[in-house]
Chain A
Amino acid sequence: MNGTSSIMHGDRTVVNSNTVNMQGSAIEIHGLKKSFGLKPILRGIDLTLLKGERMALLGANGTGKTTLLRILAGLTRPNAGSVSIEGLDSEQYAQQTRHLVGFVAHQPYLYEELTALENLLFFARMYTVANPQERARELLQRVGLERRTHERVSTFSRGQLQRLSWARALLHVPHLLLLDEADTGLDQQGHELINALLAEHTAHNGSTLFTTHQLERALADSDKIVLLSGGHVTYQGETKALTLDTLQQIYREVTQ
């Protein structure tokens, strides 16, 4: 129906023949398990996210939200289970799935000694973005950092770091955005700029998976809500069927 999904369509039929049922799914997770050293964090996660959907991931600290996002971003390999992004298995097609994903965390993942532009140009080369200069400058403008283009990232404030991190994540026009507390440090203007970028991403059928501690935010910005507890998905439901009170109640019950 539009440009981004038609690119994947051609690739998918060549690469993965049994994705006929998975038309339109951005993420498919089955039985995902992950332990760090000795502690099991994720004990069997099943999750599906459709293209163009926004999903809010809720849960107390330490329940594995960040771990789940890191696995989806390709930073960590799971111990068991399968993860596929747009029909591609994330272990077999690790590099291709990394192309599809943009990750914004509270760590900016930037190089302090380089300038804003140098950072973006570097990541553009890593993601083989065409017209890197043009794209980098465009994004710097969209996140409101064009006045700091040639300044070293070590001089940036927390909010500016976060905005640049968003720019880094959007360089290669990802199909899936993973946001782990991605709005920490943003001021009012920052929030507005980011929301505009997010809206555009969703309008082009991009999917979003974000973590938050604020239930209001979850209700306002998502189509589906998922609760993680004890390493499992303990609740999954459509946002429009929930009110703030019901959600608070469920949250309390589940995190006992």
Chain B
Amino acid sequence: MEFRTYVLRRVILLFFILLGVSILVFVLAVMVPSDPAYLWSGSQVPNEQELEQIREQYHLRDPWYVQYLWYLWRILHGDLGTSPVRRVPVATELMTYLPPSVELGTFALLLSIAIGLPIGIISATRKDTAWDHAGRLLALGQVSLPAFWIGLIFQLVFYYNLRLVADPGGFVSDAVLSAHPLTRITGFMTIDSLLTGNWAVLASALQHLVLPGLVMSFYSTALIARISRASMMEAMNQDYIRTARAFGLSERVVIYKLALKNALIPTTTAIGLAVGWLLTGSVVVETIFYWPGIGRFAVDSIQNFDFPGLIGFVLLAGLIYGVANVIVDVVYGFLDPRIRQG
């Protein structure tokens, strides 16, 4: 198959998946037993006039398929409804909360690659040794820890007791930011401060980033360690590795130059899965660390009975997860031509 056709097929598939996600969310939002008008109106006790207005606005009197088409029409135009609590369009709010989440998520992802990949390689090359068992135990521990609990324990130890990191409150300290005003270029705290050479803000941002990033990286670290271990073991069993060894190449060259290259390819798929876990993690970690991101926005929405806000987050999460997986598939297909044939 032509590479372009392969990419096109992935994108079309994504389109259908997203359409399905919109139907699923629609069903949850409209078909539930409670009165959807009430749900969309938020926490305040709405009067009948307000409910009527919402029924009109969301076409809740029409048959369900008409309702769905209206709903699809609105989300395609970027209209995710208006938060009844904050009286701000949900799409606008999500866009404000997205950059800090992306920053935290990227940091966590890089951290999990930096930690998970070496663990996987060491486990595979020292199979069935104490190293392997320790790596495995660590990975299992990381997926078994409730993120909200370990996040609080970390705060207790590293902030309240040791005072090693910044207080769990946002992504930069306000005092530092007002003393060293930051020129916004990209919208990401770390990148902007790095670009403008604002070291005080950078230091503060990193201090705020390290704990939530670490907690958030746990699940994806374990995932990457696990998949890279399996694919490394698979690669080490191949004939060409045996041939290379027979030719007398050093173990170093065999592992890092020959086996690793092929083992890395399946590991890319782990990154797609990791994005899903980072989205889940963002909900918990951002809430614990008061991080102004989309995950905390979702939890706030739940607690304020702001249903449009929550639904907006769900749609955005579906979109991010879907796009991430398409990118991973395309990269995978690019690196391993056999995949394209399938």
Decide if A and B are genuine partners: no
Using CB atoms and an 8 Å cutoff, list the residues of chain A in contact with chain B.
Answer: none
